[in-house]
Amino acid sequence: MNSTCERTGKSGLGSQSGPGQKFSRGPGFARGGWGGHGMRAPLEKPKDFKGTLKRLIKYLKPYKLQFIAVIFMSILGTGFTIVGPKIMGKAITELFKGSIGRIQGVPGASIDFDYVLRILIILGGLYAASALFTYFEYIVMIKVSQETVYNMRKEINEKLSRLPLSFFDSRTHGEILSRAVNDVDNISNTLQQSITQLISAVVTLIGSIIMMLSISPMLTLICLVTLPLSFIITRLVASRSQKYFADQQKALGELNGHVEEMYTGHVIVKAFGHEKKSIRRFNEINEGLFNASWKAQFISGIIMPLMRFINNLGYVVVAVAGGILVTRRAIEIGDIQAFIQYVRHFTQPIIRTANIANIIQSTIASAERVFELLDEKEEIPDKKDSKIIEFPKGDVAFEDVSFSYKKEDTLIEDMDIHVNPGQIIAIVGPTGAGKTTLVNLLMRFYEIDRGRITVDGIDIRKLKRGDLRSIFGMVLQDTWLFHGTIRDNIAYGREGATFDEIVKAAKAAQAHHFIKTLPNGYETMINEDASNISEGQKQLLTISRVILANPQILILDEATSSVDTRTEILIQKAMMDLMDGRTSFVIAHRLSTIRDADLILVMDNGRIIETGTHKELLAMNGFYTDLYNSQFAGAGRKAI
């Protein structure tokens, strides 16, 4: 574990962003009035549906037998339910015949209650068996889906650990998290629920048609005539509502962004008196969302009543035609009751299948985004015959190094630096000069285009990344602490550190005193965003972590920028003690902090334009002198 590497909130050191295409965001859903069925907004369609589906199926291949079992149990569970109305119709026929016979005074007419009871017992057994098979079907499918998603998440996690820093620099946290969490959850939910529902819907549809045909082919034909009309109406209404659903999603995104922005910066909004402007803008977006949502829900809400109207017309026709057939003794009255139930069974799977088709399309789009992540270009693998520096001295050299984030735009060119063990090297220059990039290359977060970087004479590409980074300790301007105790956060610097060593490191970083004033001392929990301690205290803890790591080479990026003047003096002393005998790279923004550096590298546009000590550089009266004087011009101070 690279415990000595302190990362920024952006997953890396860089102020420079490497190239990379932004991930698209996950699809949003808007539910409408389809009775009990959700009408969805237009979903993001996958670019390669067939290819992504084939790749997703590969994850399911190890569970081929489980899928066969699910299909088998679904057929049995749904089949037992489908047979029910037909058997129930026999009981109704018996009750009807017996009742009519007694009313008409037919001699010996009676209801055979034993026959009816036997039918009820058979129905009870069928429905119980159906429930049992359905239960086992879902249990098996849940296990398959969870194991599939478990393997997928594991693969994503391993992939993220192999991706270069340029990947994280070119994407936001939200984009990566959306793929690793939201998209995978979408796949999980579809595998767990939608597939079983789809199988059940198909079996119900086929089974209902078979049972309807067995009762009356003519009534079945009448029922099927109304089906195209349902599809036509659904398509017409859905196409009209899509525009409003798109407007609804757009307005919803604007509203979320406005609320997040305003409440995140509510202090600034109040300080500049823009509350009314913020509220006015909120009302405008909210009004647009209301109008779009109302129209979308209203139009989509028409679908279910229209379909019910068409279905009811079908029921009327079936009832009339069935009544005529009963009077002609062509079919039994119980069969009419069963047929009407089958008509309901027949229409429900069609609506459900349409909804599931949308869900599956969304799922394939999610799978496609996950696969794009898994296909990202990885870091160059460590060499199998990698060398190990057992006792690092801290000799660092850049030899004819060139580097660019984009091939057409060279950032560092022909850089030559040699740092002796124990030297303190300050790196200064304007924003974008390449200061942080130099450190990124040294840590091998990025691969150089030409030349070589050596540590103790060994090319860093011949070292394993973990072994290389264990030589370094970093303290950055942007602190990073995780949710846990203060003790655990400091101990992150070195695995297996004792409590005494942790306390010693905290004392050296001037953090022990404030830790002891906290209610639970070293066992105080740091919350998720570390907001229960000050910025200066966070920095003291990260410095304690690096002191505990005891690295041979230090990288300091204005480590005292978040603390008060008194604490800064104490930390500077602690850091000077820590840097004693160690090679140190100090990225300096305040030039007053690096006067005692052994060597100062002045960078501009990726090149080292001046080198020397503080006094030597001032004597040159060049770029460094201008940079130094500009920091004190407002205070009336001159270079000394």
More confident residue, 415 or 36: 415
Query: Residue 39 above 50 pLDDT?
Result: no
From CA 197, how far away is CA 78, in angstroms rounded? Answer: 11
Amino acid 23: pLDDT: 36
User: Which element (helix H / strand E) includes 145?
Assistant: helix 113-162
User: At CA 264, angle to CA 263 and CA 270, rounded to 5?
Assistant: 60
**Does the residue 324 lie in any domain?**
no
Report the SS3 class of residue 525. Answer: strand
Question: Which of these three, 550, 567, 597, is where a domain ends?
Answer: 550
Residue 618 placed within a domain = no
Residue 248 lies in a domain: no
Task: Spell out the SS3 assignment of 484-522.
Answer: EEHHHHHHCCCCCCCHHHHHHHHHHCCCHHHHHHCCCHH
Place of tokens 């079983």: 196
Q: b/e for 169-182, b at 16 or more Cβ within 10 A? A: bbbeeebbebbbeb
Would strands 599-604 and 424-428 be described as parallel, antiparallel, or unpaired?
Answer: parallel
pTM exceeds 0.75 for this model: no
Which among 90, 80, 84 is positioned nearest to 115, based on CA atoms?
90
Task: Identify the residue with better confidence: 36 or 253.
Answer: 253
pLDDT of residue 33: 34
pLDDT at residue 384 greater than cutoff 80: no
Residue 438: inside a domain = no
* Residue keyed to tokens 């039918």: 119
Please give the pLDDT value at position 293.
85
In this prediction, residues 242-270 reach a mean pLDDT of 78
Q: Identify the three-state secondary structure at position 241.
A: helix
Give pLDDT tens digits for 84-116: 888 888 888 878 777 776 776 667 667 788 888
The candidate with the shortest Cα–Cα distance to 8, out of 577, 506, 558, is 558
- Specify the number of domains making up the chain: 2
**Is the sign of the CA dihedral 135, 136, 141, 147 positive or negative?**
positive
pLDDT value at 154 more than 80: yes
CATH of the domain at 523: 3.40.50.300
**Surface-to-core class of residue 38, CB atoms within 10 Å of its CB (0-12 exposed, 13-18 middle, 19+ buried):** middle
Helix (H, G, I), strand (E, B) or coil at 383: coil
Residue 42 scores a pLDDT above 90: no
* Each residue's pLDDT tens digit, 334-376: 888 888 888 877 777 776 776 777 678 778 888 888 898 888 8
Between the CA of residue 16 and those of 177, 437, 591, what are the distances in Å? 22, 7, 21
Q: Determine the pLDDT at residue 31.
A: 33
Residue 341 in any domain: the answer is no
CB 359 within 8 A of CB 190: yes
d(CA 299, CA 291): 12
DSSP state of 387: B
Give the chain's mean pLDDT: 79
Spatial neighbors of 632 by CB under 8 A, at least 6 apart, are 638, 639
HSE, side-chain direction, 13 A CA sphere, residue 172: 7
β-bridge pairing 607-612 and 599-604: antiparallel
**Residue 444: left (phi > 0), alpha (psi -120 to 50), or beta?**
left
CB 345 within 8 A of CB 208: yes
Residue 224 forms part of a structural domain: no
Count how many Cα atoms sit within 13 Å of the Cα of residue 564 in the half-sphere of its side chain: 5
CB atoms within 10 A of CB 60: 16
The pair of three-digit structure tokens given for residue 307, joined into one six-digit string: 């379909």
Residue 242 burial by Cβ neighbours in a 10 Å radius (0-12, 13-18, 19+): middle
Distances (CA, A) of 162 to 23, 135, 366, 445: 18, 41, 22, 11
In a domain, 184, yes or no: yes
Give the C-alpha separation, 419 to 427, whole Å: 12
Rounded to a whole number of angstroms, the distance between the first and last alpha carbons of the chain is 45
**Average pLDDT estimate for 148-158:** 89
Q: Specify if 128 maps to a domain.
A: yes
In this structure, are residues 579 and 526 in contact, taking their beta carbons and an 8 Å threshold? Answer: no
| Residue 298: φ, ψ to 5° | -65, -50
Domain final position from 215, 237, 254 = 215
Domain boundary among 499, 527, 550: 550
Q: Do 325 and 339 contact (CB within 8 A), yes or no?
A: no
pLDDT band at 509 (very low <50, low <70, confident <90, very high): confident
CATH number of the domain encompassing residue 82 = 1.20.1560.10
Separation in Å, CA 487 to CA 270, 511, 516 = 38, 12, 12
How buried is residue 24: exposed, middle or buried, by Cβ count under 10 Å (0-12/13-18/19+)? middle
The yes-or-no verdict on residue 56 having pLDDT over 90 is no
**pLDDT, tens only, 438-479:** 888 888 888 888 899 999 999 998 888 888 888 888 887 777
Q: By C-alpha distance, which of 280, 286, 279 is closest to 248?
A: 286
- The sign of the dihedral angle between the CA atoms of 126, 128, 131, 136 is negative
Neighbouring CB atoms inside 10 A of 424's CB total 21
CB atoms within 10 A of CB 387: 14
Task: Look up the domain containing 520 and give its range.
Answer: 479-550
